[in-house]
Amino acid sequence: MSQYNNIFISREDFPDYKAKGIPYTGFVIGEGYAFVQYQEYYEDKDGTVMDINDNIPSYQICIPNIVQVQCIDTSKEMIKKALEGYFAKMDAQDMLCVKEIP
């Protein structure tokens, strides 16, 4: 799991992050892997979105705006990784708390 952030939040916390506009990259326990994408979009002078797929005519001069999109990979593989990683992390923490009784 080294290519992923080894951070875990509950499925109850994820909507709170989204509602507060806090970008999150990491596992959502039982849901999958959340990540952020950045997407360009263009507006005309009145603020109307002209295009989000980068299909602006060459004669049109536009400066792109960037929007942050919170995504979540809910594939079976990512849900499994989210659960396995979380339980492995909990087991490791439990082992640190175990003391031998003399």
Q: So what's the pLDDT on residue 1?
A: 45
The DSSP string of 3-60 is TS---EE-TTHHHHHHHHT----EEETTTEEEEEEEEEEEE-TTS-EEESSS---TT-
pLDDT of residue 54: 57
Tokens 């439990």 locate to 94
Please give the angle made by the CA atoms of 81, 86 and 90, to the nearest 5 degrees.
150
**Predicted local distance difference test score (pLDDT) of residue 76:** 95
Q: Can you read off the two tokens belonging to residue 62?
A: 């536009």
- Confidence at residue 50, expressed as pLDDT on a 0 to 100 scale: 59
- In the prediction, which pLDDT does 39 show? 82
Predicted confidence at residue 35, as pLDDT, reads: 96
Could you tell me the mean pLDDT of each successive run of 10 residues in the chain, 102 residues long? 82 93 94 91 68 58 78 95 84 56 50
